[in-house]
Chains A and B, each alone.
Chain A
Amino acid sequence: DTAVSQTPKYLVTQMGNDKSIKCEQNLGHDTMYWYKQDSKKFLKIMFSYNNKELIINETVPNRFSPKSPDKAHLNLHINSLELGDSAVYFCASSQEGRRSSAFFGQGTRLTVV
């Protein structure tokens, strides 16, 4: 019973395409996140979302947008994909609060060709 699941695990697409990555959590958590991990393994927060607010990392291009149909889902939409978008994207969730740890999905390896 996977706690945080994201699909697809691998995504290969051409430049200029629009794609989505789905994420679901069954932990009943309040807050969900998207992270981007580059080739040097650096994990950068892209978005944080709960039912009250969306926090966007200001460095994230507006081609990226999170969509949350309900509390258990936070999907990532990417428009006009660029080569530099190639990375591993992780969805995560946690309870709201200063002393909560995050649970991560398995990651989606996006390759833009």
Chain B
Amino acid sequence: GESVGLHLPTLSVQEGDNSIINCAYSNSASDYFIWYKQESGKGPQFIIDIRSNMDKRQGQRVTVLLNKTVKHLSLQIAATQPGDSAVYFCAENIKGGSYIPTFGRGTSLIVHP
């Protein structure tokens, strides 16, 4: 997994720009990945998922790319809006008995009007 630094990674963008949030995952056997959005004062919410037999999946204004070779995920948000400001997490379901959603560090996205 990623090393834990002192600060939450932050991405600042202007409204209307495209945003790209990156994530490295730890388990090469993982075959299902999820992106979550956490707004201030709320719990994480599902945005989009992808299975390991795909390398790209698109939703409404969001696209997830998966590179299994380097164990890397990215979340692309098109035409970023102020309402997209939140902390974004990638997660993988890791087997420990049951499958347990296991989260990466998180990236804070700040959208400036």
Q: Are B101 and A101 neighbours in the complex by a CB distance under 8 Å?
A: yes
Q: Are B43 and A98 neighbours in the complex by a CB distance under 8 Å?
A: no
* Candidate in A55, A97, A104, A106 with the most chain B CB atoms within 10 angstroms: A104
Q: Are A55 and B43 neighbours in the complex by a CB distance under 8 Å?
A: no
* CB < 8 Å neighbour of B8 from A41, A94, A104: A41
Which secondary structure dominates chain B's binding surface?
Answer: strand
B69 within 8 A of A: no
Q: Are B106 and A98 neighbours in the complex by a CB distance under 8 Å?
A: no
A15 within 8 A of B: no
**Binary flags per residue of B75-113, CB closer than 8 Å to A gives 1, else 0:** 000000000000101010101111111110110100000
What number of A residues sit within 8 Å (CB to CB) of B?
A: 30
Q: Are A55 and B96 neighbours in the complex by a CB distance under 8 Å?
A: yes
Given contacts A98-B93, A99-B93, A101-B34, whether A53 and B44 have CB atoms under 8 Å apart is no
**Segment touching B, from A43-51, A59-67, A71-79:** A43-51
State the CA gap A101–B8 with chains docked (Å): 23
Q: Are A101 and B97 neighbours in the complex by a CB distance under 8 Å?
A: no
Q: Are A48 and B43 neighbours in the complex by a CB distance under 8 Å?
A: no
Q: Are B32 and A99 neighbours in the complex by a CB distance under 8 Å?
A: yes
List residues of chain A with CB within 8 A of the CB of B41: 106-107
Given contacts A98-B95, A106-B43, A107-B42, whether A48 and B100 have CB atoms under 8 Å apart is yes
Q: Are B42 and A106 neighbours in the complex by a CB distance under 8 Å?
A: yes
| 11 A-B contacts (beta carbon < 8 Å) | A33-B101, A40-B7, A45-B100, A50-B98, A90-B44, A97-B99, A99-B51, A101-B49, A102-B91, A102-B101, A106-B42
Instruction: List the 6 shortest-distance A-B pairs measured between CB atoms, nearest first.
Output: A104-B43, A43-B103, A99-B32, A102-B101, A98-B99, A41-B106
Q: Which residues of B contact A (CB under 8 A)?
A: 4, 6-8, 31-32, 34, 38, 41-46, 49, 51, 87, 89, 91, 93, 95-103, 105-106, 108
Q: Which residues of A contact B (CB under 8 A)?
A: 4, 31, 33, 35, 40-45, 48, 50, 52-53, 55, 90, 92, 94, 96-107
